[in-house]
Amino acid sequence: MTNVGYLVSSPKFLILAIAGALLVALVLVINGFANPGQTFAAGGPAGLVAHYTFDGQDGTDSSGNGNHGTLAGSPTFAAGPSGFGDAMVADLGKYVVLPDTTALSLRDHDFTVTAWVNASAFSGLGGYGGDWAVLGNRGPGGGGSTGLHLVMRDGRPYMGFFGNDLGSDNNLSLNTWYHIGWRYTKATGEMTLFLDGNQIASGGGHAPFIGIGDTFIGRCCETWDSPRYAKGLIDDVQIYDRPLTEGEVASLMNAAPPEPPEGPSGQVVILSSADIGPYAGSVASSFEAAGKTVVYKTPSEWAAMTTADFASYDAIALPDPNCTFNTGPIAAAIANASVWGAAVDGNIIIFGADEQFNHRAGAPNPEGQPFSDSMAPFVVADVGKTGAFVSLSCYYHGKGTGTAIPVLDAFSVGGFTVAHPPGCSNNGHIVETDHPAMNDLTDKVMNSGALWTCSAHNAFNTWPSDFQVLANALGVGSYVESDGSIGLPYILARGASSGPPVITSTVTGTLGDNGWYVSPVTVSYTASDTGSGIDEDASDLGDDDLLSDGDGQSASGTAVDNAGNSATATASDIDIDQTDPDVTVPADQVVSSGDPAGAVVNFSPTGSDATSGIASVTSNPASGSVFPVGTTTVTHTATDNAGNTSEGTHTVTVSLVLDIDIKPGSDVNPLNLNGNGVVPVAILGSDVLDVTTINVSTVSINGSTPAHNGHIEDVNDDGVADLVVHLTPSDFGIDTATPGGTVLTLTLTGEFNDETAFSGQDDVRINGNNENSKGKGGKGPK
């Protein structure tokens, strides 16, 4: 439920607030406020200005906007809420100093702030009140709306700008994680509080916050009192430059922090000493052409930067200060090489010449621009990492073999030495013509045969093994490159793929059961190399098609980069069975039954498969089932271990054959063909045969029908009722000339009331013309 919050304001504060708001409005009309543009992190709600996760146990802003904070009082860190990494342990004098309120889009602006909090105490927080500080400012006192305090006051969510507040009635417990949101909408003056994703209080008519100065996490309320702090844990503080909806606030509670944007900031930082600054144009324009924003830092600013500061840039650049013969222009970079070098985890170019000198306005040698244009995209190509470009200019011109290069200690302490090639080398040779940093460059551009004179001022005697030689200064040393050229390297590169390329295989086909494919299989390959790039001609990356059945098949592809490194990917244990199994079915079966319900019939189909083997053979209906009277088709299915199937059928025919007794009580069933009477025929009942369900009118021997409806009698004294019908022998169709003593088998047919057909057979002996038809012994039918 949403509750309307209460205003905390004395008449004095109210008057000050109104007056202050009018004054602010007048100032805004006259002068206006310029809110700096922000960039926003990918994922999550739009409008993210700053995001402090504390997962790095520092004040880093992970939004990508560079609003980094600084720890004050050495706060410690502990586990945050589930899924949110580390949290800051706040206490008296332990907090984070953030940029000013304007930079964070808090001053005279819409905003939403959210945070996870876990209080260990609601008292003893400093000052006179019970404000547990989450976010506040140091702003000047003496006026309304100048003191930002987003807090828990006496254990309840609370917000205000000084004399202009909103509280809630929700009492929070100690040592419990809560997600709290504070929102301000400038157009309506509405303040809103959220607790665990739900709106809990709101109130309108609040003038905007107009305080200035530093902003703090874990400290507030200095506009009217001494500082107040927080005691407990604070985590995942997010600041937005717009009013978030209730659903958006809830989404921040229910999801772990969004990933930082790809690429630290979209910016490249260049050391801009008095020597470098005027001459950084070619390198700067090349990075700008690659879509980056160039930021210049003075030597003092450079010296004050931390590794985290440098890591917030896509690249660090030390360009040529117009062919300078000493390292003074890069003294700041030499002094803190370990600091900025620790931030470099992307691609690196080290250039032993003077690209800017060869790109001076009006100079006859404008070839420095193509080089930097080719180099810049490579340096920033490793997305999400920080690359580096270092020009050695003419720093070591005239130096002897083995001269140390302290600025390159950033990458390997003592790992690089150089010498100035004798004279002025004008014979640069590109070894790795396909390397991304060498795109569109040729020896003609880079050596004395073209416009760039004195191609190499600094040639390497030693360099780390993870750096790749891109170009040689020919004729000035004895290093033999991969293409057979001899000289000394003067352009080096290191990238994510200075080692072997990355190659992966993908198996595509229709997967059946148990890991078997039931179709042809295609193995395709994907290769990448962000250092020198993939040599398509030397690589074997074409698709492999596996068309035949068989288990344990494999296919391999090979990737070769332009540095000659190679890697192989093998897809193995590929099992293919595209062929249906064989199924062998029984011959058609005919069985008889005395049970109108049918008969149990058994059979044994078999299956075989030469590749994956048989998994099962099933029948429908199954063997051992009761088959009804009539003909039933049985379907047999063989399934192999790959899931392929085949079917076959056979039929089961069940005939209903009943026991009958012609002339019951007679041993030989004599039959007189010349008589005019009728012959009794008994259809014998059983435990499964109810003769009362027989349709008597259908009973016949060769067309002879009953003389009457028959009757029920137990003719064989077995305790089960039998049906006795009387038929006329003259209608049996027996030739009257049949000799006496002949034994014939007669077939009786008929139907039950449900039209189920049946039959039955018994033998008779033909009498002579005058022989008595009455049998011997036994009981005759009634």
The pLDDT assigned to 608 comes to 97
Angle CA 498–502–506, to nearest 5: 170
CATH of the domain at 676: 2.60.40
Is residue 268 one of the residues assigned to a domain? Answer: no
In order, the DSSP letters of 78-95 are EE-STTS-EEEEEBTTBE
CATH of the domain at 205: 2.60.120.200
Is residue 262 one of the residues assigned to a domain? Answer: no
550 and 569: one domain? Answer: yes
The pLDDT assigned to 398 comes to 79
Higher pLDDT, 92 or 774: 92
β-strands 95-100, 219-220 pairing: unpaired
pLDDT at 754 over 60: yes
Ranked by mean pLDDT, the top range of 13-17, 57-61, 275-279, 632-636 is: 632-636
pLDDT in tens, 495-538: 754 557 889 999 999 999 999 999 999 999 999 876 567 888 88
Which domain-ending residue is among 561, 576, 591? 576
The pLDDT assigned to 382 comes to 77
| C-alpha dihedral, 315 to 318 to 320 to 325, nearest 10° | -160
- 341 pLDDT band, cuts 50/70/90, is very high
- 265 pLDDT band, cuts 50/70/90, is low
CB of 490 closer than 8 Å to CB of 460: yes
Q: What is the mean pLDDT of residues 328-353?
A: 91
In order, the DSSP letters of 711-740 are EEE-TTSSSS-EEEEEE-GGGS---TTPPT
Reference 492, options 461, 446, 460; nearest CA is 460
pLDDT at 420 over 80: no
DSSP 262: S
Q: How far apart are CA 431 and CA 472, in angstroms?
A: 7
CATH of the domain at 650: 2.60.40.10
Is residue 343 one of the residues assigned to a domain? Answer: yes
pLDDT at 458 over 70: yes
Is residue 267 one of the residues assigned to a domain? Answer: no
What lies within 8 Å, CB to CB, of 156 at 6+ separation is 167, 168, 169, 170, 171, 172
Is residue 260 one of the residues assigned to a domain? Answer: no
Tracing tokens 């810049």 back to the chain, one arrives at 376
Q: How far apart are CA 207 and CA 19, in angstroms?
A: 10
The pLDDT assigned to 425 comes to 67
171 and 229: one domain? Answer: yes
278 and 249: one domain? Answer: no
pLDDT at 334 over 80: yes
State the alpha helices, DSSP H only, in 241-342.
Answer: 246-254, 281-289, 299-304, 307-311, 331-335, 337-341
pLDDT at 210 over 90: no
CB of 202 closer than 8 Å to CB of 193: yes
287 and 406: one domain? Answer: yes
- 290 pLDDT band, cuts 50/70/90, is confident
35 and 80: one domain? Answer: yes
Q: What is the mean pLDDT of residues 216-227?
A: 80
Ranked by mean pLDDT, the top range of 33-47, 359-373, 464-478, 724-738 is: 724-738
601 and 729: one domain? Answer: no
pLDDT in tens, 266-288: 899 998 866 555 556 678 888 88
Q: Which of 72-81, 372-381, 767-776 has the lowest mean pLDDT?
A: 767-776
640 and 539: one domain? Answer: no
Higher pLDDT, 296 or 357: 296
The pLDDT assigned to 422 comes to 67
The pLDDT assigned to 274 comes to 61
Report in angstroms the alpha-carbon separations of 146 from 15, 131, 207, 210, 240: 14, 17, 10, 5, 19
Residue type at position 536: E
178 and 31: one domain? Answer: yes
440 and 327: one domain? Answer: yes
Tracing tokens 């905007």 back to the chain, one arrives at 208
The pLDDT assigned to 568 comes to 94
91 and 210: one domain? Answer: yes
- 446 pLDDT band, cuts 50/70/90, is low
- 674 pLDDT band, cuts 50/70/90, is confident
Q: How far apart are CA 592 and CA 761, in angstroms?
A: 13
What lies within 8 Å, CB to CB, of 486 at 6+ separation is 472, 474, 475, 477, 478, 479, 480
406 and 452: one domain? Answer: yes
pLDDT in tens, 165-196: 899 999 999 999 999 999 999 999 999 999 99
The pLDDT assigned to 571 comes to 93
pLDDT at 17 over 70: no
Domain that holds residue 754: 660-766
Map residue 398 onto helix, strand or coil: coil
- 129 pLDDT band, cuts 50/70/90, is low
748 and 694: one domain? Answer: yes
Map residue 232 onto helix, strand or coil: strand
Please give the model's pTM, rounded to 2 decimal places.
Answer: 0.42
Q: What is the mean pLDDT of residues 456-464?
A: 86
The pLDDT assigned to 168 comes to 93
pLDDT in tens, 18-50: 334 333 333 333 333 333 333 333 457 889 999
The pLDDT assigned to 369 comes to 58
- 633 pLDDT band, cuts 50/70/90, is very high
Is residue 635 one of the residues assigned to a domain? Answer: yes
Is residue 202 one of the residues assigned to a domain? Answer: yes
Q: Which of 109-113, 279-283, 699-703 has the lowest mean pLDDT?
A: 279-283
Is residue 757 one of the residues assigned to a domain? Answer: yes
The pLDDT assigned to 289 comes to 84
pLDDT in tens, 138-160: 765 556 678 888 899 989 999 98
Domain count, the chain: 5
- 291 pLDDT band, cuts 50/70/90, is confident
- 11 pLDDT band, cuts 50/70/90, is very low
Percent of the chain exceeding pLDDT 70 equals 82
The pLDDT assigned to 726 comes to 93
Which domain-ending residue is among 455, 474, 494? 494
Which domain-ending residue is among 494, 514, 531? 494
